[in-house]
Structures are given as C-alpha cells and as structure tokens.
Structure 1
Amino acid sequence: MCNSPKNPSAATAAANRAAVDRYDMADRRDFADSRRGLIAELPGNVTGADGHAIFDPHDFDYIGDDTPAPDSVEPSLWRQSQLIRHGGLFEVTKGLYQVRNNDIANLTVVEGDDGLIVVDCMAGVESARQGMALIREHVSDKPVAAVIYTHTHIDHYGGVKGVVDAEDVASGKVPIIAPGHQFDKYAIGENVVAGNAMARRAAYAFGGLLESGPRGFVTCGIGIASTSGPEVSYISPTDLITETGTRREVAGVEFEFLYAPDTEAPEEMHIWIPQLAALTCAENANHSLHNIQTLRGARTRDARNFARYLDETLERWGDAAEVHYGPHTWPVWGNENITAFIESQRDTYKYIHDQALRLANKGYTPLEAAEVVELPEELARNWANRGYHGTLHHDVRAVYTKELGMWDGDPVSLHPHPPAESAKRFVEFAGADSILAEGRRAIEDADYRWAVEILHKLVFAQPDNTAARELQADAYEQMGYQAEGPQWRGIFLSAALELREGIKPMPFTTASQDTILGMPIDILFDFVAVHIDGPKAADVDLRIDFEFVDRAETWTTWIRRGTLGARRGASRDTQLTVSGPKAALTGVLLQPGDATKLAESGAVTLAGDAQALATLASVLDEFDPSFPIVTP
C-alpha cells in the first residue's frame, strides 16, 4: 500500500478554489487584531522534562501570512490557521496580558497592585511555565495572588502547576476560583471516567496522529498547538462561584462573575473586570462556532443556554465593555465591535437550536435536518461563526441528542445489526467485487461521501481486504482536504492514515496522575466501577471497606450482580478493611494486585481477608488506548 498522503484530486482542488467565493476574503481586520499588542515572540520550543519537544512553533512555518491556501486545505481553515500561527506575549489592555499559541488555549494574566491573577492555565504544565516566564521577563515578577478557572475543561486547568505551587494553594495563600457546585466532579469525571474513549477520539479529531503540513495537521482551529505528551496537572478549586453577581477582590482588582452552567461546559462562568472594562464570556463566545456535541465525546451542551447567557452578559455589561478577551484566539476591542460580536454568536446558537427543533417537529431526522439547515447570510459570513471547532452540521444533530435523545425517530435505526454483522450480510448480498467497483466509480466521480459509505461495508466485513482499505483511505483523504472544520479534517485524515498503516500509538491520555489523584472519592469509585467486567463479576459477592485516613472518611464498596457500588460509612459485614491516605488507596483500587507490596512498605494496612483484593483484581478490565476505529 502507498503509505504517504496523496495529492488532492482535481475535484478537491476545484472545490477548494470555489469555496473562496463563499467567504469575505477582503475582510482583513482579524489579521491586525491577532497581532495587536505583541510584546514578545515565543522564545522557542516547549520541552518536556526528558527534553522532547512538546510544541515546536516552527512546525507551522509553512503557513505563510500571505501564502494562498494549498489545494489540500480548505481556504477558510487556512485563513484561520494564518491568524493563530503567531504566538507570543500580548498586551490586551493596560494591566491585562495573554500568552497565546504555544498551547491550544491561552494564558491570561491580570496585574494587580501586589500580585498577578491568572485566568486559565493552558493544557500543559510546560506551556504554562513558558508563558509565566514571558510574563516575569516582560511584565511583572509579582507573586501569583489567585488562579481562576473559567470552566471544567482540561485545556484550562491542566497547566496549573506551571503557574502556582500546590502548597501555596493548600495553605490558603493562593485561592483557586472556579464556577459551580461540583467543579471537581465535572472536571475530573468528564475527562477520566470515559477518558480512554475520549482520548482515542480526540487523537483523531485534533490531529494528534498526523504530521504537521498542508496534507496533514494544520491547526486545531481555536488554537495552534496539538501538543505532544504534556504534563497535565490539577489542583482543586478553593473558592466556588455559584451565583451570578458574585464579586471577589484580589490584589486590588475587582472581579464580577456571571454563572453560566450547562453551556460549553457543565460548569462555566463569564468574568467582568470593571476597572479594566474587560470582559470574557469564556468559551461561550469565540472566534469560531463551538461544539454543541464534541466529536471527542463529552456531555451534550444546551445551545439555548449559550444564547441565554450571552444575552444576559450583554444586558449586564454590554454598554461598558471595551475589550473582550477569550481563553482561545485573539481579543475584540471597542464597545461597538464587542456588542456585535456577542450578538452574532448569541443569534447563531439560538438559530441552530430553534431551527433544529422546528425541523424535528416537522418530522425530520437529525441527519435530514443537518443537510438543510444553513445560517442566514449575515451570520454565515461572520468569520467568528465559521466551523473551526464545532460545525453547523454536527451541531444541528447535537440539538436533537440534547432535546430528544439518541434515537432519530426512524424505526429502522432502533434495533439495527452491529456494524460488522451488518457489513458481512451486505457484502454477501452485494458481492465484494461489486462494492469495490462501485467504490472506484464513486471516487472517480468525486462522490467521496458515497465512496466511504459503501466501502465501509467491505472493510468491516473483510478488514484484511487491502484494495478496499486503500480505496476508502483515498476517499477519506479527499474529504479531509475539503473540510473547513479542523476536527472533521483530523478525523478523515486520521482514518486514511490508519487504513493505510494500521493503528498508531496514542499520543496522550486524559488519565494523568494528577487527574486521578484529584478525583473526588465518589468519582474515584465511579472510575473503578467502569473497569468492572460485568460478566466476570456476575456471581461475585464481595465487600471491602476503604478508610481514607487523610480525609477522615470511610467508604464501603461492594460487588454484587456484576456491579460495583460505594457509599460513605463502614460496613458491619466487610471482608476486608484497607486503611491509608487517598493516594495509596487509589493505587490499591486501580492495581489491587499490588496491595500486598503497599502493605509491606507501610503505605496501607490490611485488616481481614486479603484474598478479597485478589477477587477484585480478577474482575477488573483493562482498556486499550489504541482501540480500532476504522476497522471492526
């Protein structure tokens, strides 16, 4: 098989050249704004402790500022990539600074009278550390007075230990301010309990398996970096914001918060800094359409809430805001521009929500609706509403999922055969040679969507059929070259890569040591519970108590009828009690076979029948981080 990316077809080249006419390419305001206030360029690579390059800005030198889009990149995505490839330290307004584009997310720093307030911390410790070094060199060496997380996603808290010392947080010296009643639950639970599947899907969507270049990874759309193996850290918040209008004064700077749950994240908030006339709507207003349902996999969002809280923000602060800074991409300056920006984003999410449900009420299925919904011209031609993160097509389908559930309403989809079984029956009926012939015809006619659909049956029925895999890879590749949405591009090109070369090792995992150790105890047991092999555990009757000596909490766990349950309090009929600090008990729960070694070292104590841990170990399943996607 040919394992290198192929040329864009003549049809793809023509489609991408024709796409230029859909856009307002003469509008160059964003190019000036994305470079406004530059203080210092990035100093070079972001490197890990072992010296490997986590991020190299020169990987994107091929995206020239004035270079026209190559035929293998959709021109709107190319333009967005030109805007975000430049990284560095920027002054947003006097007293507010950002480090951008050495990570998928921004590091924002507010300079107070006697300290710095950091708003969001990037995804990785190393990128955050580089960002803080730029702040120290060019802005201020004042100590960090507080950290603010705008929401529960990993690219906004993962770099926290590159910003602040955990001991300073634990001592109360540096508060961590965050939204919601259950920030830990959603930050850790969403990213870890289903994290193995999420990380695998994210590697496709964010191009983690692709080489940088015009026929591979371009950018993430909302940020330049697809970082390689960063250290992901976590420190729990110490000050939770649960009501709109709540204020905090830190280092002489007043912050006012708008609580916006169930929007882009389960827990999220907007922030107003009156003395700077500076506003952020976190990720509810971006230079991109956002996801109502992420392709990596996460809870479906409420598009109506996006619009509702953006309108409330305008009502509260819209007349006074002079700069809007985001945790991704570049700011918006000037009250008139800010108002227009937020109004346009508000109306886009409201339109998607309302039109999806209008069509649902007319009997359309999600896919049927997604094929016909188009934004009004005024919204569609606004660059900030283009699909650089979410896309209109999958956001329309996501509204159905949020409001109507997983079934599309068509009885044929209610109880279908699994893909591999359906594929075998289809191939037996149609014939492998006929499917190959139809796949070739479809590719020759540039009917790539049909080509991947028909060839999917053959690949799933005969995964070793080299001709079918190669043809499907060719079709996916052209679809990737034509995709405006970088996540669609990443998914299609990653599919082509793995069809040609087989499964690639995963570049990262969400289950870092810090995130696992940071899990609230109830989420920790949820994490263990999804590892229970139900059929193996069906006849197991097991009860183990865990005494968390550093938390002064005891929990009892049981396995019965194939499930693991847990609740606070000790059990009268426990078979075993395991005592120790939370970090050690986490190790016992995830690797119960190592409990004896931990007991011998004095890290934990065992009281009762230690054989209970062997029983637990026997029913724990393991997850392959590189499970198949494009093959059965």
Structure 2
Amino acid sequence: MQPRRAHVSRIWFVALGLLLAGVTYAGLAAAPNGPKPATEATRRANAALLQSLPFSDRADFEDAERGLIARPHTLTITDGDGNVVWDLEPFKKFIRRDAPAPDTVNPSLWRQSQLNLIYGLFKVTERVYQVRGFDLANITFIKGDRGWIVMDPLLTVETARAAHALVKQHLGDRPIVAVIYSHSHPDHYGGVRGLVDEAAVRAGRVRIIAPEGFLAHAVSEMVLAGPAMTRRAAYMYGTFLPRDPQGTVGSGLGMANASGTVSLIAPTQSITKTGQELTIDGVKMVFQLTPNTEAPAEMNTYFPQFRAMWMAENTTHTLHNVLTLRGAQVRDALAWAKYIDETIGLYGDAIEVKFQAHHWPMWGKANVRSYLEKQRDLYKYIHDQSVHMLNFGYVGPEIAEYLQLPPDLAQYWPNRGYYGTVRHNARAVYQRYMGFYSGNPSDLDVLPQEPAARKYVEYMGGEAAAIERARADFERGEYRWVAEVLRHVVFANPDSAAGKELLADAYEQLGYQAESGPWRAVYLQGAFELRQGVPSGSAAQTAGPDTLRALTPALLFDLMAVRLNGARAAATRLKLDIHFTEPKERYELTVAHGVLNYGRRSAEVADADASLALSKMTLIALQAGETSLDQAIAAGALKLRGNRAAVEELFGLLDQFPQAFNIVTP
C-alpha cells in the first residue's frame, strides 16, 4: 500500500489532538501567489445574502452584551513559560462591531464573529455568571451559599485559570465546591486543573459531576482514528490560516481553540437518569440526560430556584454538526430533536432564561420557548426530510442540493449554519441510514482518486484543455465545478503548477462565500496547502497524563490492533502474557492471521511466548516510542520473561502514523 503522506514521523500516541496548536509549516518556501481578492461573482453572492436575511434585527447583540460586569481591555493569555495559548487581539484588530463585512467574508458569518468577539464576565441571572470569549466555550459560575459551582471548565488549564481570576477580581474569592461536566468533549472539561486540586477532590471537598458514560467517551472518541481526525481538524479550524479578512474569522461556534494544557479529573458522581436531583451548596439542580445528541454522553441542567435552563451544547446560536468535518461517528439528529422536545415538555413552562456552553443567553419565557421549538424543528426537519427524500431514491449529494429549510426556520438567526450546515448535515443523515453506497452500481467499486483522475483528464482532452475550460468557468463564477474538475487535474499531475493555483483560487472564492466557519476554514486551508505545501513539525501534546491514565487496557489493545500492519503480520504467530501492575489486571494477547486479539485472564498464560509485568503507563510509553525495552527493564518498569524476540517482533509490526498527510494533493 502506498501511503498518501508528506512524511512519516513518530506518533504522539493518543488523540493527536484535540487541536493542532503545535504543528508548524517548517522549511516551506513562501507562497508563490498569496491570497487573492474577492471576485465579482463572490461580491455579488455575498451582497445577495446581505439582502436576504434580517440584518436589522439587533436583539442578539443586546443579549450578548446584557449583564456585562467587566472585560479586560486586552485578552492575551500565556502559559507558565510565556507562550501565548489564547489571543483575541488579532481578531479585534479587524472585526469591528459596526463595521460592514469585507467582501472576502460572508456577511452572515461576519455578524456571528462580531457576536462571538463580545467577551468578558457577565451576570446571566440571579447567582449565575459566565465568562465568555476566554476559549472556544464558555465557563459558568453558579453562586452557592458559600462557594462556586462551575459548569464546563473550558479546554485548557491556562484559560480556565484566567477566567477564574477575572471572577475573583470582580465577585470575590470563594471556594469551588463542585465542577460539572456537561458532556464528553474536551473544551468542556480540559481546564479543570486550573480551578481545583485533585487532592481536594479526593478529600471530598470538591465534587466532580458528569453524565453517565462521560469518562469512557471523553478518552475514547479520538483514540483509534486520532491522527486522521487531528489532520482534518487542522482544516476544520483553519489552524494555519492568518487571522484577517482573507483568513480565519472564527469558527462560528466561537473564535478559536485555545492551545495549552488539557487536563482531566475523573468524575466523583455520575448522573444516571433524567429527573435526578442534586442540591449542592444550597443550589438545586435537576438533570436531563441527552445521550447521543451533540455528544455521546451529555446532559442539560435545570435550576428551579432561578428558573434557568442550562442547555449544554444541545442548543446554541447556530445549527450544529450532525457529522463534524474533522470526522466522528454520525450523530442522531432524530434523538437530538426529541431531547429538545423533552426539554420543552419538562421545563418549558417555567424557563425564564436559557444559557449554554457556547454563545450568549436568552431571556423571557415566550422567547426561550420559541427558540427551543425552532431549534428542535431545525434538527427534526433536516432528519425527516432527508429520510423522506432518500425514500424517493435521492442520494446524499442530491439531498444536500435540494433540501431547503422553511422560511420560519431559515430566517431565524440561531438556526443559521455557522458551524454545521444544512448541506453536510443532510448528507450525514443519509450516511447514518444508508451508508457510503449510493445504490448505483458504478459507485460500488470505484477507482481510487489517482488512477480515476488520470482517466478523467485523459477523457477531458488532457491537462491543458481541462485547465483552459476551467479558467472560463472560473470567470463565470462556477467555483464548485472548477474545484471538481481541477481536483482531477491535480491528482493526475501533482506537479501541475497552473492546475494547483487555479484550484486554490476556486477554493478561496468558495471560502469567501461560506457562511459556515468550518467550511470557510476547509476551503481556505485547502487553498493555502496547494500554494504552501503540507505541514511538518510535531503535534502539541494535548492529551496529557490525565487522559492517558484514564484509558482502559482494552482501549490500549484496540489501538495496538489498529496500528498492527496486517500484511506484514500475516505469517506471524505469537502469544504474550501481559500482567499489569497498575491496574492489577492480566491479559492474553495474540497475533495470528494478521490480527491482534486480546482477552482478560485470571491466571498466568502458561503457553505464552513471553510474559511482561509492567504498568499501563509503561506500555503506553513503549507504544509511543518514548522508551525502549532496554530502558524500561533497566529502570525496573518492566520485567520480561521468555522470548524477548517475540515482544520485539510485536512492536516492530506496529506502524507509526503520520502527523500530516496529503489531502488536496495525492
């Protein structure tokens, strides 16, 4: 198998990332052609959108500013070594509150970025405060009788600590008595050690509360496919794009991802059913479990004393992703809609204010109820009508092209596609029900991209003819088609300078027109890499010791099985006895038929080729290449009996995944 990659480097073992803050473009020449201005077709498209939406409605701006207590004049957060982990200043230089959208930015996305740039400490309602704009997500502080209950402590230790400092400065220094994780995505738990000490948790002075299944999902989502997801996340978030009108203007869900230290303290209590109640420090909370919605483990929380509803990330001020562009399992749009409907049924008559893990709150019973109903119907409409159309024989791209929201849903600002989009969510619904195959026999066994591209270009009359026709279509503003055609040109001939530059130009104009932050980032990142090349360097170690300790032995072995090169291992037969000293568990691990299998054992595996006694963390280090057998044995971290060659053979069969591979070129 010929891998499509720029280079192969040593794997950083788990979840190569929640983000790619540490990957750089090293040693690459400056782009021969930098970003281009908006074309007339792009200016017309953006101007038309400006006329089609209710931009005179400024209620969101009033809500986003409501309750402001304080905001620092500048917001740049650094770690202990002085490295910048969060910086709003580049965005503030060009995204002005009342400035019209540049012609290189979709005016609806520009509006969303103006709103997301409203940052600071806010009072939501009685005893409920939020710090917004200190990370991709919000952090919420609920005032108890003597201390704080914190909802979702951001992605990194550094940003959480900075938000807490702002709270202490303006609201006083009170102890944190509980931390609640609303769901299993890292931007909602990773900053916990910036707020509380694990010793206090173990001593019972701080409670950590999360929905059932939180820990397993928090540590597993990006393990098996972590390198690929990380590479795609660089596109989704525009990691390497400049922060300017021709680069990233925010993700739609927030401005950016923080880079810094991601931590995790395991929950001390799980919420196991809807309606479960807790009273902590005088604050009563009623929980609603919403599994398999925006996250596999997620929950909303109602505060009856304040008539306030915390919606986690199940409703925000954007259409969310049914399938995230970085890659993940398809989410259940129907379940998502039903859980929002359940929220309305359980609490809708009482809610006076709703707030959530991203964006700004909303006030007023009728206003909140209407919002929840329209968010519910947004996901329900996309689900129902996608399934409706697939039952008429339409396939994913056709459904995406023809599915249109009704005006009442489409004209509602919180339903706009700043993060998810109707188009890719409709295709996700199709994928969930029907899979990759369209039903057309020609789609059953398609050629790989490169040989197919060579035939396409041959049929188009050759590279020069294809580029000439594409230039004419580009001048007509047919950028989607130009991108489709020139993709084949570039995959047929990756050295085609003219093909790559014109393809980059088409991607760029599509990015300038995109209403979705991730769509804009994907297009502009694609254009950037066509001009600049593929990233090199190393990924930031965002999955630190906390995450690694939480991995189960089974998940470690599953990852080893994914890393095993099946073709090279086809003739290998070996069996190992793995005795973990921490946790105290024993496993039998076998390789046969190119497959790694494992099973829990209660006693030593008598016929093993070798026996290893080691901790789980030592096995992690061995897999990651951070230590060797000799080093582990010398340090006393590993005791090995039997055939050492069998152990060496196993580790020699584990491939190292690339930190960066080609996407827009073969």
TM-score, normalized by the shorter chain, greater than 0.5? yes
Instruction: Give the 3-state SS of the residue equivalent to 2:101 in structure 1.
Output: coil
Measured after TM superposition, the shift of residue 585 of structure 1 is 2.9
Partner deviation per Cα, 1:450-504 (whole Å, 9 max, x = no partner) = 1010000010010011110001000000000000011100000000000001012
Measured after TM superposition, the shift of residue 167 of structure 1 is 2.8
Q: 1:103 to 1:592 in 2, by over 3 A?
A: closer
- Following the alignment from structure 1 to structure 2, what is the Cα–Cα distance between the partners of residues 380 and 253? 38
Instruction: Give the 3-state SS of the residue equivalent to 1:248 in structure 2.
Output: strand
Q: How do 1:143-154 residues align onto structure 2 when only pairs under 5 Å count?
A: 143-154=175-186
- Following the alignment from structure 2 to structure 1, what is the Cα–Cα distance between the partners of residues 454 and 579? 52
- Following the alignment from structure 1 to structure 2, what is the Cα–Cα distance between the partners of residues 104 and 150? 15
Instruction: Give the 3-state SS of the residue equivalent to 1:328 in structure 2.
Output: coil
- Following the alignment from structure 2 to structure 1, what is the Cα–Cα distance between the partners of residues 318 and 646? 52
Measured after TM superposition, the shift of residue 290 of structure 1 is 0.6
- Following the alignment from structure 2 to structure 1, what is the Cα–Cα distance between the partners of residues 393 and 240? 39
Q: 1:184 to 1:282 in 2, by over 3 A?
A: same
Structure 1 contact 593–617 (Cα < 8 Å) conserved: no
Q: How do 1:98-177 residues align onto structure 2 when only pairs under 5 Å count?
A: 98-177=130-209
- Following the alignment from structure 1 to structure 2, what is the Cα–Cα distance between the partners of residues 615 and 293? 39
Quick one: which amino acid aligns to residue 562 of structure 1? G
Instruction: Give the 3-state SS of the residue equivalent to 2:174 in structure 1.
Output: coil
- Following the alignment from structure 2 to structure 1, what is the Cα–Cα distance between the partners of residues 168 and 636? 43
Partner deviation per Cα, 1:22-79 (whole Å, 9 max, x = no partner) = 1100100000111111122146311123312122111111100000000000000000
Aligned pair partner of 2:450 in 420, 429, 447? 420
- Following the alignment from structure 1 to structure 2, what is the Cα–Cα distance between the partners of residues 509 and 78? 32
Measured after TM superposition, the shift of residue 409 of structure 1 is 2.2
Is 1:59 aligned with 2:90? yes
Is 1:584 aligned with 2:618? yes
Measured after TM superposition, the shift of residue 184 of structure 1 is 2.4
Structure 1 contact 98–107 (Cα < 8 Å) conserved: yes
Quick one: which amino acid aligns to residue 302 of structure 2? W
Q: How do 1:148-547 residues align onto structure 2 when only pairs under 5 Å count?
A: 148-180=180-212, 182-227=213-258, 229-430=259-460, 431-505=462-536, 508=540, 511-547=543-579
Moved more, 397-406 or 574-583: 574-583
Measured after TM superposition, the shift of residue 510 of structure 1 is 5.5
Aligned pair partner of 1:11 in 41, 51, 54? 41
Quick one: which amino acid aligns to residue 108 of structure 1? T
Measured after TM superposition, the shift of residue 153 of structure 1 is 0.9
Instruction: Give the 3-state SS of the residue equivalent to 1:362 in structure 2.
Output: coil
- Following the alignment from structure 1 to structure 2, what is the Cα–Cα distance between the partners of residues 593 and 188? 23
Partner deviation per Cα, 1:188-226 (whole Å, 9 max, x = no partner) = 111222111111111101111101010000011111124
Q: Structure 1: which 5+ runs fail to align?
A: none
- Following the alignment from structure 2 to structure 1, what is the Cα–Cα distance between the partners of residues 616 and 350? 47
Q: How do 1:606-625 residues align onto structure 2 when only pairs under 5 Å count?
A: 606-625=640-659
- Following the alignment from structure 1 to structure 2, what is the Cα–Cα distance between the partners of residues 194 and 593? 23
Structure with greater helix share of residues: 1
Q: 1:391 to 1:50 in 2, by over 3 A?
A: same
Structure 1 contact 473–495 (Cα < 8 Å) conserved: yes
- Following the alignment from structure 2 to structure 1, what is the Cα–Cα distance between the partners of residues 33 and 643? 55
Structure 1 contact 548–585 (Cα < 8 Å) conserved: no
Moved more, 433-442 or 486-495: 433-442
Measured after TM superposition, the shift of residue 508 of structure 1 is 4.6
Matched pairs, number: 630
- Following the alignment from structure 1 to structure 2, what is the Cα–Cα distance between the partners of residues 303 and 432? 42
Structure 1 contact 219–226 (Cα < 8 Å) conserved: no
Quick one: which amino acid aligns to residue 367 of structure 1? P
The match for 2:113 is 81
Quick one: which amino acid aligns to residue 168 of structure 1? A
- Following the alignment from structure 2 to structure 1, what is the Cα–Cα distance between the partners of residues 330 and 120? 33
Measured after TM superposition, the shift of residue 86 of structure 1 is 2.0
- Following the alignment from structure 1 to structure 2, what is the Cα–Cα distance between the partners of residues 179 and 519? 18
- Following the alignment from structure 1 to structure 2, what is the Cα–Cα distance between the partners of residues 84 and 481? 19
Is 1:601 aligned with 2:635? yes
Moved more, 580-589 or 124-133: 580-589
Measured after TM superposition, the shift of residue 611 of structure 1 is 2.6
Q: Structure 2: which 5+ runs fail to align?
A: 1-30
- Following the alignment from structure 2 to structure 1, what is the Cα–Cα distance between the partners of residues 495 and 156? 39
- Following the alignment from structure 1 to structure 2, what is the Cα–Cα distance between the partners of residues 507 and 331? 35
- Following the alignment from structure 2 to structure 1, what is the Cα–Cα distance between the partners of residues 260 and 268? 25
Measured after TM superposition, the shift of residue 545 of structure 1 is 2.6
The match for 2:23 is none
Q: 1:508 to 1:477 in 2, by over 3 A?
A: farther
Moved more, 568-577 or 360-369: 568-577
- Following the alignment from structure 2 to structure 1, what is the Cα–Cα distance between the partners of residues 317 and 626? 47
Structure 2 contact 261–542 (Cα < 8 Å) conserved: no
Q: 1:439 to 1:98 in 2, by over 3 A?
A: same
Instruction: Give the 3-state SS of the residue equivalent to 1:556 in structure 2.
Output: strand
Q: 1:50 to 1:528 in 2, by over 3 A?
A: farther
Partner deviation per Cα, 1:423-453 (whole Å, 9 max, x = no partner) = 0122233211111111111111110001010
Structure 1 contact 102–224 (Cα < 8 Å) conserved: no
Aligned pair partner of 1:572 in 597, 603, 606? 606
Partner deviation per Cα, 1:118-155 (whole Å, 9 max, x = no partner) = 11121122111111111222224222212111111111
Instruction: Give the 3-state SS of the residue equivalent to 2:165 in structure 1.
Output: helix
- Following the alignment from structure 2 to structure 1, what is the Cα–Cα distance between the partners of residues 54 and 482? 32
Measured after TM superposition, the shift of residue 576 of structure 1 is 2.5
Instruction: Give the 3-state SS of the residue equivalent to 1:275 in structure 2.
Output: coil
Quick one: which amino acid aligns to residue 539 of structure 1? A
Quick one: which amino acid aligns to residue 420 of structure 2? G
TM-score normalized by structure 1?
0.97
Partner deviation per Cα, 1:155-187 (whole Å, 9 max, x = no partner) = 11122221222233344432321112x322222
Moved more, 375-384 or 604-613: 604-613
- Following the alignment from structure 1 to structure 2, what is the Cα–Cα distance between the partners of residues 536 and 56? 47
Moved more, 61-70 or 188-197: 188-197
Partner deviation per Cα, 1:313-360 (whole Å, 9 max, x = no partner) = 111111111111110010111111111111100011111011001101
The match for 2:19 is none
- Following the alignment from structure 1 to structure 2, what is the Cα–Cα distance between the partners of residues 406 and 299? 13
- Following the alignment from structure 1 to structure 2, what is the Cα–Cα distance between the partners of residues 60 and 592? 38
Structure 1 contact 73–214 (Cα < 8 Å) conserved: yes
TM-score normalized by structure 2?
0.92
Instruction: Give the 3-state SS of the residue equivalent to 1:237 in structure 2.
Output: coil
Structure 2 contact 621–627 (Cα < 8 Å) conserved: no
Measured after TM superposition, the shift of residue 511 of structure 1 is 4.2
Moved more, 446-455 or 38-47: 38-47
Measured after TM superposition, the shift of residue 249 of structure 1 is 1.9
Measured after TM superposition, the shift of residue 297 of structure 1 is 0.6
Structure 1 contact 424–461 (Cα < 8 Å) conserved: yes
Quick one: which amino acid aligns to residue 524 of structure 2? L
Quick one: which amino acid aligns to residue 512 of structure 2? Y
Q: 1:592 to 1:137 in 2, by over 3 A?
A: closer
Partner deviation per Cα, 1:484-542 (whole Å, 9 max, x = no partner) = 01110000000000000101247656644432332122212222222111112212222
- Following the alignment from structure 2 to structure 1, what is the Cα–Cα distance between the partners of residues 153 and 575? 41
The match for 2:4 is none
Structure 1 contact 191–511 (Cα < 8 Å) conserved: no
Structure 2 contact 147–281 (Cα < 8 Å) conserved: yes
The match for 2:15 is none
- Following the alignment from structure 1 to structure 2, what is the Cα–Cα distance between the partners of residues 159 and 346? 30
Q: 1:533 to 1:32 in 2, by over 3 A?
A: same
